[in-house]
A and B are shown apart, each in its own frame.
Chain A
Amino acid sequence: MSTPPVYVLGGAQTDFARNWTKEGKHFIAGMREATVGAMESARIEPREIETAHVGNFAAELYAKQGHLGAFFVDIDPAFSGLPTSRHEAACASGSISILAASAEIEAGRYDLAAVVGIEQMKTVDPATGGEFLGTAAWYEREAKGIEFPFPKLFGRLGDEYDKRFGLKDEHLAHIAAVNYSNARRNPLAQTRNWFMSEAHAQKTSKYNTVIGGRIKVSDCSQVTDGAAVIFLASAKYAAEYAKRRNLKLDSIPRILGWGHHTAPIEFGAKVAESRDNPYVLPHTRQAILDAFRRAEIDSVWDLQGIETHDCFTTSEYMAIDHFGITKPGESWKAIEEGVIEMGNKMPINPSGGLIGAGHPVGCTGVRQMLDACKQVTGAAGEYQVEDARKIATLNIGGSGTTSCAFVVGK
């Protein structure tokens, strides 16, 4: 028996350049704005929403507040009594929320779900924020007492590539430059007005200091306040939705495939486990392959673009071969040939990704799905990929620990 389809009706996100703390805002303001904006954009009435899932990593730390699912109810009186929940899987929290909501749709429990991704991060100084992010690793073993543990962990990912295949930092610099360049075309990207050049990204300098290992400031994603909301629907609701708007049902995108795998949490254990595997993070590779299989696509070349998890340049470097754009260890070839750039064979992160668009941790998976939806409906404006019919997303929690991949298309 085939799985019932899950439709993506669109949504909205906040401007990732904002600083909610400077605005004197509680995160509920961002959640409210994104939800109201998403309902306006998708033309959905509050009373139509039957369930809500909130992805968030660490509001307990950043905002001293748990129980985020309950905050959705505060947005509109019509939401009182709505079943809601919050999901956490570090930087993959957003995708885990999508999986939970889509499972409910597939099970026939509900016909219309709101999925919220949200994180408020600018409440603390960078060092404290780095400490909080360390709880996405095995904190006691990998983060406690270490300044900025995550850049160091993803520096080790680069080191592992270097050891197995060789890695030149100039290729990482190119990844940074491409993401910043893409972000300039995204009106909601955090870095849309920031300066970046490959020369700047290549050199360690006063303004581009080393954060940990081979990771410099330019290799890092951003500290971001942000919220994104998408709506997932059953075939029954989507058919009514399409009819009311004079749309064809097949013009509405669906989640065509998904993959979800969790690796050992310690980075050292991951690397030890994959020693004899062609892929450095085989569980991430498997999540991608599962999404491809469920979407009934043969390879990455059936896609027109990818929104991937570039929390650091090394994670995008990893994604290039794990998606199968190159053979394992040869991501540099795709970089040198320009394959990943806009207008070429496989644009990666048209939005600017986590480096360019921003990385509000628990929001990212939902933002990626929203961008994938914009691409396949031709609504991505200046960062539209030409003739985008199928777009994949890859969202990773921890140091390659929780991997979620989706294929979105029509």
Chain B
Amino acid sequence: MLSAIRTLAAIGCAFAVVLTGSSWASAGDGGVNCGSASCTVTVTVPGSPAGSILAPPGMSTGSGAGQADPSPSPSGSFFSTPCTYRPDPEYQPPAGADPHPAGSGGWYLMTCPDALKPTGVANTFSTVVWLSTPPPASAVAPSPAQLAAQARSLLRLTTPVIGSSPKPGSPDLVGVNVWAWVAPSAWSAQSATASAGGLSVTATATPSYSTWDFGDGTVITCLGPGTVYQPSDGENPVSPTCGHDYRQAGSFTETVTVHWSVTWAGAGQSGAFNDMTTTANAPVTVEQSQAVVTR
């Protein structure tokens, strides 16, 4: 009896493979899967896996007499593009929950395209698979950290625009308080996203502080972009946030370096990179103020 049922199952499995193809391809649907000797029915997700369309590729598990049922399934087709794989050493199923064949190999997060988009929303699904031999390099998807590095390389940070009072290019006078700032338009977070294999990671650079080298030996750190001088601030005030008072005449080059903190997030992970910096400089001419002699 059992063998007869297995035969039926095997027959059904031929069907099941088709079902699996189409049901995988539909949003979050499972199907039936076959191994060499038996069939297994595969699970899926509740509701709405996004990008996580959870139709695991069934595992063939020995003695199952799983009845392969040609269940109604949306019309569909097999995948037209191959799946991608990402090594996933973090997957640690509880003992006995997800045994894998003995020997070498590793867990991979497999992401496959959907051939069907019944909802028009999902276009990939992911699951974990054990591969005893690594997939070809062309099918290996970057890890979130690798994607983050790509996203970081895509960042195009705004070059700081030096603002100052007196205006850049205008002669400064010894003893006059210089206000220094980075134009607010150049002081805002920038982000870039890299995607591959169904994963998407965004790197975000946020300006955190600026260092100013005024060229006369003075280097200061300002916690923000500095404060834009307004005429209403009065005569020769001291900048509340970022400024300098040249004590000698001469020609200098002032250099501002903006330090950006860079973080990334996506694919369920997050992290941080070392700071990035951008710089700009401007010539400064400082003149000795002339005493006005009145008689």
Partners in one complex: no
The residues of B with any CB-CB pair to A shorter than 8 Å are none
